[in-house]
Amino acid sequence: MSTSLTTFLYLQIGTGEHKGGPGGSVGNLTRETVLESATIASSSRRFHEFMWTSLAAANLPDPGSCLSKMAEILPRELVGCRMAGEDSGDGRPRPRTNPATTTSSSSTTSNQLQLLQQQGPAPSRLWDRADHAALAGSAGEEVDQKRSRIGATMASEIAAATWLTVLMALVAFLSAEGRNLLAEDTPATKTKNKTVEEILTYETFNGIFPHRNDPLSKAQGFYTYESFIQAAGMFKDFATVGGEQMQRRELAAFLAHVARGTTCGFSKATDGPYAWGLCYYQELSPSSLYCKDDFNYPCVAGVSYHGRGAFPIYWNYNYGPVGKALDIDLLNRPDMISSNSTLAFASAMWYWMTPQKPNPSPHSVMVGEWEPTDDDKLGYILPGFGATTNILNGQIECGHGEDWRGQERISFYQTFAAYLGVEDVGENLDCGLQKMMPSGYTVM
């Protein structure tokens, strides 16, 4: 909090000399309450504009000067901040005396006393030592009495005016308009999250997957932009946290794994090898039923658990938890993944968002939530795109040096990141030298 704001609020609330009494409480407004509000308020450069306006409304002679002086004064003093334009009783503003012109001569003192007697109560200001010395030198007891009356009048007037100033400033700032002004300057606003639709528009989705409906595509007409957005809405943190750049980076990583698992592209394909993602929605010629004894997710006789979906899912022990999470019976009807494009995307997003102990979720890696353990670091498992590959398919692609499948994933990621306007794809893109993570599930 700025010095001037701290001093101002402390003087009005914390001294216990005004009508709030010791402890600085007025009604339900306590020193702690206002200081807490002021701590929030002081983060905006606009708060001082509110203070300046409120001080001016309270009829101070120079609000800007008064605010600056508050940073220099001691508690319970308001040097130089006196009230202006007070009525002298005859309809004319009372003149302001200037302590700098005060002398110690008896004639000057006499004139000042006469002026006080003619005008009644003195102008509302704090008496400094020069005033006191000049008057006390020749008027002793009479001056003390005058000063006592003046001090009482001054304290009452300043207390009322300054409390009004504080309340006006706080009410104005904490209003809807004040909150909007504060929002203009906060770092959170500069990294405000966008919706998935705002980043991945229909045109951008088509640009990343331009051949998904090509006659050569085995998933022609299956995957739609609308089904992707609908599936994304089922996971509130999917590509919606960390600010726009992090959102774009997470989308690029997720879509890269989707494209790698569903591509039918090749080096000389039209528009290149990375333009043919979402070409498959299931394995065409499964070599087995992919059934394995599992107590929690037993196989159903005659049902095939071959690869299906945007992250091709294999094995009954993977279909089981996905179905449980999506509240559908995939053990009996795994074909729902290959007959409903929203479920095809949603199953992939669930894997992306859900940690499989001891492995983190790919989402937590890409948004910077995951912190590697000492053992992870010894195994070169560090935050970055490579760790997401290790989580999803590390038993096949990681831990044995450069792997062509892992390199393809990196190329998809870099291509999509450039298309989405990602400024920095990050480090540790490869998992070739990483220790293989325990197999939490197998999707590709």
Q: What angle in degrees, to the nearest 10, is found between the helix axes of 31-41 and 129-174?
A: 70
Tell me, yes or no, whether 266 and 119 share the same domain: no
Assigned domain for 395 exists: yes
CA dihedral 246, 248, 249, 250 (to 10 degrees): 90
Grade residue 36 by pLDDT with cuts at 50, 70 and 90: very low
User: pLDDT at position 109, please?
Assistant: 42
Based on the fold, state whether residues 73 and 120 are members of the same structural domain: yes
Residue 427 in domain: no
Report pLDDT for 371: 96
Q: Is the per-residue pLDDT at 51 higher than 90?
A: no
Do 111 and 52 belong together in one domain? yes
pLDDT at position 357: 86
When mean pLDDT is compared across 100-104, 145-149, 345-349, 373-377, the lowest value belongs to: 100-104
Give yes or no: residues 91 and 221 share one domain.
no
For residue 350, pLDDT over 70 is answered with: yes
Question: Does 245 lie in the same domain as 309?
Answer: yes
Overall number of domains in the chain: 2
What does the chain come to in residues?
444
pLDDT over 80 (residue 410)? yes
Greater pLDDT, 337 or 24: 337
Q: Is residue 433 part of a domain?
A: no
Region 144-152: what's the mean pLDDT? 57
> Looking at residues 92-97, what average pLDDT do you find?
45
Judge if 64 and 117 occupy the same domain: yes
Supply the pLDDT for residue 206. 97
Judge whether 435 lies within some domain. no
Q: Which of 325, 185, 346, 213 is nearest to 279 (CA)?
A: 213
Compute the average pLDDT of residues 41-51.
Answer: 46
User: Quick one: average pLDDT of 68-87?
Assistant: 42
Give residue 153's pLDDT band: very low, low, confident or very high (50, 70, 90).
Answer: low
For residue 416, the Cα-to-chain-centroid distance in whole angstroms is 26
Question: Average pLDDT, stretch 74-90?
Answer: 41
At 316-328, the pLDDT tens digits run: 999 999 999 999 9
167 shares its domain with 234: no
Interval 270-284 mean pLDDT = 96
155: confidence class by pLDDT, cuts 50, 70, 90: low
Q: Is 7 a residue whose pLDDT tops 60?
A: no
155 and 271 share a domain? Answer: no
Of the listed ranges 101-115, 209-223, 226-240, the one predicted with least confidence: 101-115
Specify whether 13 is located in the same domain as 161. Answer: yes
Q: Residue 192: its pLDDT value, please?
A: 84
Residue 312's pLDDT is 93
DSSP characters over 8-30: HHIIIIISS-STTTTTT-BTTB-
CATH number at residue 222: 1.10.530.10
Q: Which of 266, 273, 262, 267 is nearest to 220 (CA)?
A: 262
pTM of the predicted model over 0.75: no
> Do 270 and 299 belong to one domain?
yes
In contact, 125 and 82? CB cutoff 8 Å? yes
Q: Do residues 9 and 125 both lie within one domain?
A: yes
Question: Residue 289's pLDDT band (boundaries 50, 70, 90)?
Answer: very high
> Exposed (0-12), middle (13-18) or buried (19+): which is 158, by Cβ within 10 Å?
buried
Same domain, 244 and 318: yes
Q: Is residue 87 part of a domain?
A: yes
* Cross-strand partners of 308: 282, 313
Would residue 340 be called left, alpha or beta, if left means φ above 0 and alpha means ψ between -120 and 50 degrees?
beta
Answer yes or no: is 439 within a domain.
Answer: no
Are residues 417 and 248 in contact, defined by beta-carbon separation less than 8 angstroms? yes
Could you read off the pLDDT of 245-267 as tens digits, one per residue?
999 999 999 999 999 999 999 99
Do 211 and 217 meet the contact criterion of CB atoms below 8 Å apart? yes
User: Which is more confidently placed, 50 or 334?
Assistant: 334
Domain boundary residue among 188, 215, 232? 188
- Is 288 a member of any domain? yes
> End of a domain among 134, 162, 188?
188
Residue 55 predicted with pLDDT over 70: no
- Residue 155 CA to residue 152 CA, distance in Å, equals 5
Predicted local distance difference test score (pLDDT) of residue 191: 61
* pLDDT value, residue 140: 52
The answer to whether residues 443 and 318 touch, using CB atoms and an 8 Å cutoff, is yes
Q: How far is CA 312 from CA 29, 157, 258, 386, 393, in A?
A: 60, 77, 9, 19, 11
Q: What is the pLDDT of residues 359-387, one digit of tens each?
A: 999 999 999 999 999 999 999 999 999 99
* Residue 60 binned pLDDT confidence (cut-offs 50, 70, 90): very low
Mean pLDDT for the chain overall: 74
Flag whether pLDDT at 355 surpasses 70: yes
The whole-number pLDDT of residue 98 equals: 46
Domain that holds residue 93: 3-188
316 touches 323 (CB < 8 A)? no
Q: Name the more confident of 14 and 321.
A: 321
Is residue 114 domain-resident?
Answer: yes
Which of the pair, 344 or 91, is modelled with greater confidence? 344
Name which of 23-27, 115-119, 279-283 the model is least confident about: 23-27
* Last residue in a domain, options 188, 211, 244: 188
pLDDT for 119 beyond 70 = no
